[in-house]
Amino acid sequence: MGTALMRSAHTRLDHPPLIDDRWGDRLILAAEREAMLASAGFQDLDTALRAHPSYGTVILRARYCEDALAEAVARGVRQYVIVGAGMDSFALRRPSFAHDLEIFEVDHPTTQQFKTARLAACEIPVPPGLELVAADLSKTGLDAALASSSFRSDRPAFFSWLGVTPYLTRADNLATLGAVAACASTGGEIVFSYIDQAIFDADDGQGALGRARARVAALGEPWVSGFYPAALADDLASAGLELVESLGAAELGARYCAGRDDGLRPSPASHVAHARVAG
């Protein structure tokens, strides 16, 4: 819910917006927004969202992913898999380049039930070309989950996996990347976000990262692992993928925030990576 509202706040308040996504304002109910504000310690929710350490990261990783997706579509990709979709609204807003995409949102069955009910309550029909794939990826591999859908493993696909890897163990992250390679044909691509493992290694629990880890742990979803940027290409190769690009906070900021005067910046721990299925 928070990331959906961040995207909406950015679209309304930051100029020029890097993404156009107002759906969070419609999908997240007033009572839910009030509950979030009550725990934030601010006078209004937009201010709280924009002050959150992850705000810039949420916006920039979405823009980076959509830029890479648009390029993949131009090369002929027609399948888009959103892993850990949550309240993602890409299928509802469909940028002009995405009109012909088949979109698969993969998430936990409870999350999918919630989203289906919320769309119905808001009188928003499930759009054509969207398939909700319910799967607990701690028990079912991504490749097996997609095998139960209309996904075509013999056709190229683009995968996004944003804001998820810190919550999983290294073994689970590598297994998911391997599943992408297993169920996508040669040329398939993935964009995912991650935190530098060195930051975890150096965390003594006292700094900004330590406080952030304590907050998410208190919610029952601790951050547990990252990747070493220098070793990422080897990690991906072990999973059947090849690295296209990996950007840290400085590179993301240089690409998307140069000349901005609204303070939009990624958090220092932010990284995004773009990889493709090895030939």
Q: Which residue has the higher pLDDT, 264 or 202?
A: 264
Q: What is the largest CA-CA distance in the chain?
A: 53
> Looking at residue 188, what is its pLDDT?
94
The CA distance from 37 to 224, in Å, is: 27
> Looking at residue 208, what is its pLDDT?
62
How many CA atoms does the CB half-sphere of 10 hold within 13 Å? 27
* Per-residue model confidence as pLDDT tens digits over 52-101: 989 999 999 999 999 999 999 999 999 999 999 999 999 999 999 999 99
Give domain limits for the chain.
Answer: 2-277
* Per-residue model confidence as pLDDT tens digits over 253-263: 999 999 999 99
* pLDDT > 70 fraction of the chain, expressed in percent and rounded: 93
- 247 beta partners: 272
Tokens of 149: 């859908």
Tokens of 191: 């964009």
Straight-line distance from the first to the last Cα atom of the chain, in angstroms, rounded to the nearest whole number: 38
Q: Which residue has the higher pLDDT, 75 or 224?
A: 75
Give the pTM.
Answer: 0.93
Q: For the purposes of burial, counting CB atoms within 10 Å of the CB of 205, is it exposed (0-12), middle (13-18) or buried (19 or more)?
A: exposed
Give the pLDDT band (50/70/90) at residue 214: low
Give the pLDDT band (50/70/90) at residue 209: low
2-277: which CATH architecture?
A: 3-Layer(aba) Sandwich (3.40)
* Per-residue model confidence as pLDDT tens digits over 155-172: 999 999 999 999 889 999
Q: b or e along 116-144 (b: 16 or more beta carbons within 10 Å of the residue's beta carbon)?
A: eebbeeeeeeeeebbbbbbbebeeebbbe
Element (H or E) spanning 103, and its range?
strand 102-107
Question: Is the pLDDT reported for residue 219 higher than 70?
Answer: no
> Looking at residue 40, what is its pLDDT?
82
Mean of the per-residue pLDDT values of the chain: 92
* Per-residue model confidence as pLDDT tens digits over 91-136: 999 999 999 999 999 999 999 999 999 999 999 999 999 999 999 9
Give the pLDDT band (50/70/90) at residue 200: confident
Give the pLDDT band (50/70/90) at residue 186: confident
